[in-house]
RNA sequence: GGGCAUGUAGCGUAACUUGGAUAGCGCAUCUGGCUUCGGACCAGAAGGUUGCGGGUUCAAAUCCCGUCAUGCCCGCCA
């Protein structure tokens, strides 16, 4: 097991050898040793291990004696200068000169790749998000989904995965049917952004439909819509495409991009479901009861060892359920079934890459066929996702049991009620709870904050900076909390740039950039003698934190938790801020060179971490 | 009723997966610091029975059992 942090790696190695020679009988795994190491408390040295307590209980010896015995083993390493047993703990002090040289050297060498770990094989992962219905604007709940999806994609890309970002567009659903129904008697446009316009129409039509008890008319329309090539089928797709283009303006404003959009109508046309059902039946995964409660349906039972109700895949009237479509879709994603989808360019994104879309006419392309899939979906859908996973495992075999990962996030709530799309909960009294309104409010706020900005650089530059600051504030705010936790949205809190925020991190980045601008060209050859004179705790705290980057990234990627990165970016920024106050880099004589190197390494590491959150660090703000 | 989450100072959040030294951080409150590489900053103070009760352990926010509160899921809806 190779640890990313050189000091930690060496400590682990030494502990392993010491245990082997002092307690050959103790069965302690590398994992246990590794987990026993912590690095929080600097008054006890730079690293500490509690492994002696473990050994103590196995070998029936006092922890204190165990730690002392382990410490007798001589240490001949580069990074650790001292090992001290204290009350059963073993503490290690780092050789600051050696450690600084190694860590900073590595950052300078790896640059924008610093903090990544390299896998043996390049795996392909499909990340699906946010798959919003194409008849409303993104509200702040959809935004959380999109930002999580974007960050998870970045984390995987950073860690050597080939990432395909997909957006599934379901334009043949009930909500679109309601809109088509309403448009029959009202069709004037208001000039609003199209997704906003459709969203408001939907809320209105939905209410009218309930009042007029027109459900059967809508159901008839729904059926027409699902008929390949019908007038309603075409119309639904047209309205939806226009709406998705409007939604993507929002996505682009936030710097969120996709590789391919998959449309429900194209999935139907490609007969993905039929292929999937045939294979499921052939493998005996599904059943078709001849009598009883589910007569004439196609059903699936929970896998052995799991409990839960029977799930219907095809209704007795022949109509497939959502779960069935989802199973087919994921069989395609993972290459279990193939399809002859055709693709064409949908839109050129500001990152200068095209988002492609499935289409009736186009060319074949190499999408899907991934090693694994991540679905960013609210935690309310945990059960259907379980069914999906279990169905895929049954059809694909044991190795498929963990190929689908559900990134389940807590929904966003409003203090005053629900965010439901059906009732229009996203429509607020003064401003809507949409991703667009959030961004525009945040930009106003950011513009106020930077009003002292040097106007000579022009209004455009100022507004562009305000936009980036606003985006960073929103992204950091949304990503810093554990995805699993629900969020109660509150305008007052959202608009507050406290020092636990994206702008705070960006500010530290800008300060670091300013120092480097002013320093000009220097000979920055990294030799350990350079670090000899450093003596401030604040200096070494920054370097130690920089050394943790790889372990942090690995954890965030494995656990699919961008908040781990946000937390780390903040710690890094705070440590830098303290260093900045204490050490006047440009006026520090012979200490200037090593301090400049700290600034360079800090700036690069912070840049990389903010990139993982989708935040663009800029040199001036 | 069954299942899944969550509960940490006034508020928000970290540490829980892998038990370890004084539960980390921010907002708000109070006290200090600009002849300064950018004050969107920093230093300090105050604020905690980690929902409650039991258990395991040398050691529990963390593991186990019970309990309370809140949210979500349990349809031939999506």
pLDDT digits (tens, 9 = 90+) for A535-550: 899 999 999 999 999 9
Residue nearest to nucleotide B70 (CA to C1'): A486
Nucleotide nearest to A497 (CA to C1'): B40
Task: Give residues 498-557 of chain A lying near strand B (Cβ < 7 A).
Answer: 498-500, 503-504, 507, 510-511, 514-515, 518, 555
Sign, Cα dihedral of A166, A168, A169, A175: negative
Q: Is the CB of A86 under 7 A from strand B?
A: yes
The residue-averaged pLDDT of A54-59 equals 91
CA of A106 to C1' of B5 (A): 41
Q: Is the CB of residue A410 inside 7 Å of nucleic acid strand B?
A: yes
The strand ranges marked E within A360-427 are 372-378, 404-409, 412-414
3-class state of residue A403 by DSSP? coil
In whole angstroms, what separates CA A418 from the centre of its chain?
Answer: 25
Those residues whose C-beta lies under 8 Å from the C-beta of residue A458, and which sit 6 or more positions away, are none
How far apart are alpha carbons A152 and A575 in whole angstroms?
26
**What's the rounded Cα separation, in Å, for the pair A503 and A508?**
9
Torsion angles phi and psi, residue A581, rounded to 5: -65, -40
Count of other CB atoms within 10 angstroms of residue A431 = 13
Distance A418 CA to B1 C1' (A): 26
Domain assignment present for residue A429? The answer is no
The pLDDT, as a whole number, for residue A6 is: 93
Nearest nucleotide relative to A504: CA against C1': B40
Q: Is 80 exceeded by the pLDDT of residue A1?
A: no
Give the DSSP letter string of A15-49.
HHHHHHHH-TT----HHHHHHHEE---TBTBSEEE
Global ipTM? 0.95
Q: Is A578 part of a structural domain of the chain? A: yes
Q: Is the peptide bond before A130 cis (omega within 30 degrees of 0)?
A: yes
CA-CA distances (angstroms) from residue A422 to A180, A193, A429, A433, A525? Answer: 15, 19, 17, 14, 62
Where is the domain boundary, A51, A69, A94?
A94
Identify nearest nucleotide to residue A56 by CA to C1′ distance.
Answer: B58
Among A38-52, A434-448, A454-468, name the most confident range.
A434-448
CATH number assigned to the domain comprising residue A64: 3.30.1360.70
State the average pLDDT over residues A25-37.
Answer: 90
Lowest mean pLDDT among A176-185, A378-387, A409-418, A511-520: A409-418
Stronger pLDDT, A3 or A241, i.e. the higher one? A241
Q: Which nucleotide is nearest to A496 (CA to C1')?
A: B27
Kindly write down the DSSP assignment for every residue of A230-286, as one continuous string. Answer: -HHHHHHHHHHHHHHHHHHHHHHHTT---SEEEEHHHHHHTTHHHHHHHHHHHTT-E
Q: Which residue from A585, A563, A576, A561 is spatially nearest to A606, judged by alpha carbons?
A: A576
Using a pLDDT cut of 70, give the percent of chain A over it: 97
Q: What is the mean pLDDT of chain A?
A: 92
Q: In this predicted structure, what is the pLDDT of residue A111?
A: 95
Which strand B bases fall within 7 angstroms of a protein CB? 4-6, 12-15, 17-22, 25-28, 33, 36-43, 57-59, 71-78
Strand B lies under 7 A from the Cβ of residue A28: no
A620 is a domain residue: no
Of A76, A94, A112, at which residue does a domain stop?
Answer: A94
Residue A268: CB less than 7 A from any atom in strand B: no
Nucleotide nearest to A52 (CA to C1'): B20
What pLDDT score does A143 carry? 97
Residue A215's SS3 state is: helix
Question: Distance (Å) from CA A617 to C1' B40?
Answer: 15
pLDDT band at A160 (very low <50, low <70, confident <90, very high): very high
Does the CB of A36 sit below 7 A from strand B? yes
pLDDT-based confidence at residue A2 (cuts at 50, 70, 90): very low
Residues 6+ apart with CB under 8 A from A596: A515, A516, A519, A522, A524, A585
3-state secondary structure of A611: helix
- Is the CB of A580 less than 7 A from some atom of nucleic acid strand B? yes
- Residue A615's nearest CA partner among A463, A436, A471, A444 is A471
pLDDT surpassing 70 at residue A100? yes
Q: What is the pLDDT of residues A214-249, one digit of tens each?
A: 989 999 999 999 999 999 999 999 999 999 999 999
**Contact indicator for A114, A608 with CB cutoff of 8 Å:** yes
Residue A607 belongs to what H/E stretch? Answer: helix A592-612
The predicted pLDDT at position A276 comes to 94
Q: Read off the pLDDT of residues A104-142 as tens digits, 9 standing for 90 and up.
A: 999 999 999 999 988 888 999 999 999 999 999 999 999
Domain count of the fold of chain A:
2
Q: Which two tokens stand for residue A175?
A: 């909500």
- Tell me, yes or no, whether A456 lies in a domain: yes
From A56, A75, A94, give the residue that closes a domain.
Answer: A94
CATH number of the domain to which A542 belongs: 1.10.730.10
pLDDT of residue A304: 54
Could you tell me the CA-to-CA distances from A324 to A274, A280, A339, A384 in Å, in that order? Answer: 10, 11, 16, 10
> What range does the domain containing A531 cover?
436-612
| C-beta of residue A129 within 8 angstroms of C-beta of residue A235 | no
Instruction: Specify the residue for token string 């001290």.
Output: A84
In angstroms, the Cα distances linking A553 to A283, A367, A549, A558 are 40, 27, 6, 8
Q: How far apart are CA A258 and CA A150, in angstroms?
A: 9
Closest residue by Cα to residue A494 from A476, A509, A508, A506: A476
Nearest nt (C1') from A510 Cα: B38
Is pLDDT of A305 > 60? Answer: no
Closest nucleotide (C1' vs CA) to A445 is B40
Asked if residue A38 is part of any domain, the answer here is yes
| Spacing of A526 CA from B42 C1' in Å | 30
A376 versus A424: which is more confidently predicted?
Answer: A376
Show the beta-strand stretches assigned E in A423-470. Answer: none
Does residue A162 sit within a domain?
A: no
For position A324, what pLDDT does the model report?
Answer: 93
Asked which of A33-47, A235-249, A443-457 is least confident by mean pLDDT, the reply is: A443-457
Tokens coding A17:
């050898």
CB A519 within 8 A of CB A490: no
Q: Is A476 inside a domain boundary?
A: yes
- Is the residue at A453 inside a domain? yes
User: A246-287, pLDDT tens digit by residue?
Assistant: 999 999 999 999 999 999 999 999 999 999 999 999 988 898
* CA-to-C1' span, A518 to B37 (A): 8
Distances (CA, A) of A539 to A44, A102, A283, A368, A523: 18, 15, 63, 47, 20
Provide the percentage of residues in chain A whose pLDDT is more than 90. Answer: 73
Per-residue pLDDT, A45: 87
Residue A400 reports pLDDT greater than 60? yes
Look at residue A452 and tell me whether its pLDDT is greater than 70.
no
């Amino acid at each position: 097991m190779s640890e990313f942090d050189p000091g930690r790696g060496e400590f682990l190695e030494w502990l392993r050898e010491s245990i082997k020679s002092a307690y050959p009988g103790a069965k302690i795994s590398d994992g246990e040793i590794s987990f026993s190491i912590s690095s929080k408390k600097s008054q006890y040295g730079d690293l500490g291990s509690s492994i002696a307590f473990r050994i103590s209980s196995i070998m029936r010896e006092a922890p204190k004696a165990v730690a002392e015995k382990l410490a007798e083993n001589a240490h001949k390493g580069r990074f650790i200068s001292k090992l001290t047993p204290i009350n059963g703990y073993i503490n290690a002090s780092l050789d600051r000169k050696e450690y600084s040289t190694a860590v900073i050297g590595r950052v300078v060498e790896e640059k924008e790749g610093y903090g990544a770990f390299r896998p043996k094989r390049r795996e392909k992962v499909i990340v699906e998000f946010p798959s919003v219905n194409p008849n409303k604007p993104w509200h702040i709940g959809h935004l959380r989904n999109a930002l999580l999806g974007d960050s998870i994609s970045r984390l995987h890309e950073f860690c050597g995965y080939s990432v395909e970002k997909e957006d599934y567009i379901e334009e043949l659903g009930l909500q679109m049917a309601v809109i088509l129904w309403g448009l029959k008697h009202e069709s004037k446009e208001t000039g609003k952004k199209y997704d906003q316009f459709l969203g408001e129409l939907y809320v209105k039509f939905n209410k009218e439909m309930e009042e007029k008890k027109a459900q059967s008319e809508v159901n008839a329309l729904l059926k027409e819509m699902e008929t390949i090539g019908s007038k309603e089928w075409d119309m639904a797709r047209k309205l939806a495409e226009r709406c998705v283009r409007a939604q993507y303006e929002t996505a682009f404003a936030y710097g969120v991009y996709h590789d391919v959009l998959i449309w429900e109508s194209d999935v139907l046309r490609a007969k993905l479901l039929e292929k999937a059902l045939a294979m499921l039946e052939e493998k005996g995964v599904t059943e078709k009861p001849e009598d009883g409660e589910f007569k004439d349906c196609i059903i699936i039972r929970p896998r052995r060892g799991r409990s839960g109700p029977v799930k219907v895949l095809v209704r007795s009237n022949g109509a497939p359920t959502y779960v069935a479509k989802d199973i087919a879709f994921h069989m395609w994603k993972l290459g279990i079934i193939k399809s002859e989808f055709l693709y064409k360019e949908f839109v050129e994104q500001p990152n200068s890459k095209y988002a492609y879309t499935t289409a009736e006419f186009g060319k074949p392309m190499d999408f899907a066929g991934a090693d694994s899939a991540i679905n960013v979906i609210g935690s309310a859908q945990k059960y259907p996702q379980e069914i999906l996973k279990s169905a895929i495992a049954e059809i694909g075999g044991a190795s498929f049991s963990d190929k689908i990962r559900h990134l389940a996030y807590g929904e966003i709530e409003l203090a005053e009620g629900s965010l439901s799309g059906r009732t229009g909960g996203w429509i607020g009294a003064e401003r809507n709870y949409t991703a667009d309104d959030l961004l525009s409010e945040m930009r106003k706020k950011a513009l106020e904050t930077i009003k002292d900005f040097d106007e000579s650089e022009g209004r455009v530059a100022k507004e562009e900076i305000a936009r980036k600051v606003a985006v960073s504030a929103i992204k950091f705010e949304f990503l810093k909390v554990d995805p699993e936790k629900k969020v109660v949205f509150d305008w007052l809190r959202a608009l507050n740039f406290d020092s636990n925020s994206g702008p705070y991190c960006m500010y530290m980045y800008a300060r670091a950039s300013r120092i480097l601008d002013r320093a000009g060209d220097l000979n920055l050859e990294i030799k350990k003698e350079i670090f000899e004179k450093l003596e401030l705790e604040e200096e070494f705290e920054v370097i130690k934190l920089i050394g943790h980057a790889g372990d942090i990234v690995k954890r965030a990627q494995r656990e699919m938790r961008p908040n781990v990165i946000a937390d780390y970016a903040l710690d890094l920024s705070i440590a830098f801020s303290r260093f900045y106050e204490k050490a006047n880099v440009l006026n520090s004589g012979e200490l200037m060179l090593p301090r400049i190197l700290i600034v360079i390494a800090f700036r690069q590491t912070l840049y990389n971490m903010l990139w993982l959150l989708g935040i663009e660090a800029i040199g001036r703000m």
